[in-house]
Amino acid sequence: MTATSSTLAIRKTLAAALLVFPCVFILVFIMHFRHPADFLHFRTHYVPAPPDRVVAALIAAHNRWPLIHDPHMIAYLTLPVFPLCAFALYLLGREACPVASALALMTTISGTIYMGGVLGMWTAFYRGIGLVDPAYQAGAAATFAALTAPQGAFLITTWLAKLTMLGLGAQALTLLGTRVVPAWSIVCVVLGCSLFLAFWDLDNWMLIGAVLLLVGFVPVRKALLKETEDASAISAG
């Protein structure tokens, strides 16, 4: 494989990631709803379910479902696609705004690392409690409440995970005025990221945000593929 063909393959992979990431996260958020009507319960801030109720349900389920059926695990395994989306946006914006594009890229990548910590913690908590003996349910509930309290390392990791959406939105803004993608595409990406940041942990709002990201990424993907085709034509000529 030549250097040119290798570059084209990488660009096509990045273009595919722009669709895979939002589609998988749309699925992840849908899996959080027990009933379709739950989507219509919009709130302005996150209110966690009572720890004793969560723990009781997890112990009763006793991990009967496969690990891959856990939406947190699906999101966790999909995280490597997130940096690919960031690099795709960087390729389109680096010529017009090299410094801003690089800083935004580093912000997105850094946030992805912390996002892995958040998703990993939730997956570990849920699967671990599912193995607890029912006789220790009260102690498990107290432990779960302490582990997920919005303080300390848990709170810091959660806040740092938000750098993913902050960086992604900033990367989209670097494309303004470049005419590489239409303005409405940039607006969709920025609005999608803003919904994630404003309504963190509220699945219906984040589902809408993921849909906006998907809509906004379609023109970005086309622009990236067009650059790929142009580079291929120049190489062939």
Which residue type occupies 184? W
Task: Give the per-residue pLDDT at 227.
Answer: 72
CA separation for the pair 126, 58 (Å, rounded): 7
Three-state SS annotation for 142-178:
HHHHHHCCCCHHHHHHHHHHCHHHHHHHHHHHCCCCC
Task: Give the per-residue pLDDT at 1.
Answer: 47
Task: Give the per-residue pLDDT at 54.
Answer: 92
Model's pTM, two decimal places? Answer: 0.90
In 3D, which of 236, 218, 233 has the Cα closest to residue 22? Answer: 218
Q: Coil, strand or helix: which one is 119?
A: helix
Residue pLDDT tens, the chain, 237 long: 454 667 788 889 999 999 999 999 999 999 988 888 888 888 888 888 899 999 999 999 888 888 888 999 999 999 999 999 999 999 999 988 899 999 999 999 999 999 999 999 999 999 999 999 999 999 999 999 999 998 999 999 999 999 999 999 999 999 998 888 999 999 999 999 999 999 999 999 999 999 999 999 999 999 998 876 655 555 555
What counts of helices (H) and strands (E) characterise the chain? 10, 0
CA separation for the pair 165, 162 (Å, rounded): 6
